[in-house]
Structure 1
Amino acid sequence: MHRHSRKTGALRRKSLIGLVSLAVVSAVTFAQPASATDLPVWDDYSYAAQTAVIEALDKKFEAAHPDVTIKRTQRTFEDLGLTLRLAVSAGDGPVVTKVNQGAKDMGAMAQKKLLLPLDEFSKKYDWPARQSESLLARDRWSKDGQFGEGPIYGISGLAEIVGLYYNEQVLKDAGVELPLKTFDDFLAALDKVKEAGQPPIAMGTAKNHLALHLLAGISQAHIDAKSRKQIDDLIYGRGGSWKTDGNLESAKLMQHWAEDGYFYNGFQGISGDDAVQLFIAGQGAFLVSGTWYFGDMQANPNIHFMAIPAPKGVNHPLSVGGVDLAWAITSQAKNDKMKDLAGSYIDYMVSPEAAVEWAKAGYLPSTALPKDADLDVSPLLSEGLEMWKSLNANDAIGHYPDWSTPTMLKTIDDNMPLLLAGQQTPAAFVDKLDADYSSYLASK
Structure 2
Amino acid sequence: MVKSRAAAALAVAVLLLSACGSGGSETPSAQNSSQPRTLKLWHYESAEGAMGKAWAEAIKKFEASHPNVKIKFEAKGFEQIQKTASMVLNSDEAPDIMEYNKGNATAGLLSKQGLLTDLSEEAAKRGWDKLLPGGLQTTAKYDDRGVMGSGKWYGVPNYGEFVMVYYNKDLFDKHKVQVPTTFEQFTAAMDTFVKAGVTPLGTAGAEYPAQQIFYQLALTKAQKPWLEAFQSYKGKVDFHGPEFTYGADTFADWVKKGYIAKNSSGLKAEDMGVAFMNGKFPMMISGSWWYGRFASEIKKFEWGHFLFPGATMSPGSSGNLWVVPEKSENKDLAYDFIDITMSKDIQNLLGNSGGVPVAADPAAITDAKSKELIESFNKLTSQDGLAFYPDWPAPGYYDVLVAGIQNLINGSKAPAAVLDEIAKPYEDNLADIGN
- Is this a same-fold pair by TM over 0.5? yes
Deviation of the 1:135 alpha carbon: 2.0
CA distance in 2, matches of 1:359, 1:290: 15
State which of 225, 228, 231 in structure 2 corresponds to 1:232.
228
Q: Which runs of 5+ in 2 are unaligned?
A: 1-11
Contact 2:221 2:242 in 1 (8 A): no
1:342 is aligned to 334
Give how far 1:68 is off.
1.6
Percent identity between the two aligned chains = 24
Secondary structure of residue in 1 paired with 2:99: strand
Partners of 1:325 and 1:368 in 2: how far apart?
A: 15
- Partners of 1:218 and 1:250 within 8 A in 2: yes
Task: Measure the CA separation in 2 of the matches of 1:90 and 1:340.
Answer: 20
Contact persistence 1:204–1:264 (CA under 8 A): no
Residue 150 of structure 2 aligns to a residue in which SS?
Answer: strand
Map Cα deviations across residues 163-222 of structure 1 (whole Å, 9 max, x no partner). Answer: 1111222122222223x22111111111112112221111232x4322012112232244
Q: For residue 155 of structure 1, what is the amino acid of its counterpart?
A: V
Deviations, residues 122-175 of structure 1 (Å, cap 9, x unaligned): 112222332232121122211233332211111122211111111222122222
Within 5 Å, give how 1:31-430 maps onto structure 2.
Answer: 31-32=26-27, 33=30, 34-35=32-33, 36-49=36-49, 50-178=51-179, 180-205=180-205, 207-223=206-222, 227-241=223-237, 242-264=239-261, 266-298=263-295, 299-300=298-299, 302-310=302-310, 317-334=312-329, 338-365=330-357, 367-373=358-364, 375-379=365-369, 381-430=370-419
Q: How far is 1:371 from its partner?
A: 4.1
Q: State the one-letter code of the partner of 2:241.
A: T
After alignment, is 286-295 or 323-332 more displaced?
A: 323-332
Amino acid in structure 2 at the alignment position of 1:339: K
2:156 counterpart SS class: coil
| Letter aligned with residue 343 of structure 2 | S
- Would you say the 8 A contact 2:63–2:71 is kept in 1? yes
Contact 2:100 2:320 in 1 (8 A): yes
State the secondary structure of the residue aligned to 1:327: strand
Residue type matched to 1:246 in 2? E
CA drift of 1:295 comes to: 2.1
1:66 CA displacement: 1.1
Compute the TM-score of the two structures, normalised by the length of structure 1. Answer: 0.87
In 2, the alpha carbon distance for the partners of 1:237 and 1:152 equals 21
Deviation at 1:104, TM superposition (A): 3.0
Q: From the superposition, tell whether residues 218 and 147 of structure 1 become closer, same or farther in structure 2 (CA, over 3 Å).
A: same
- Once residues 245 and 265 of structure 1 are traced to their aligned partners in structure 2, the CA distance between those partners, rounded to angstroms, is 25
What secondary structure does 2:250 align onto?
helix
TM-score (norm 2): 0.88
What amino acid is aligned across from residue 230 of structure 1 in structure 2? W
Change (3 A) 1:254 1:371: closer
Quote the Cα distance in structure 2 between the aligned partners of 1:183 and 1:57.
Answer: 41
Give the C-alpha shift of residue 265 in structure 1: 6.2
Spell out structure 1 runs of 4+ moving beyond 4 A.
none
Further displaced range: 244-253 or 258-267: 258-267
Return 262-271 or 183-192, whichever deviates more: 262-271
Task: Write the distance in 2 (CA, Å) between the matches of 1:354 and 1:176.
Answer: 39
Output the CA distance in 2 between the equivalents of 1:38 and 1:320.
37
Partners of 2:129 and 2:220 in 1: CA distance: 28
CA distance in 2, matches of 1:330, 1:112: 11
SS, match of residue 72 in structure 2: strand
Give how far 1:48 is off.
Answer: 3.6
| 2:375 match: secondary structure | helix
| One-letter amino acid of the counterpart of residue 122, structure 1 | A
Alpha-carbon distance in structure 2 between the residues aligned to 1:110 and 1:99: 12
* Pairwise CA distance, 1:352: 2.2
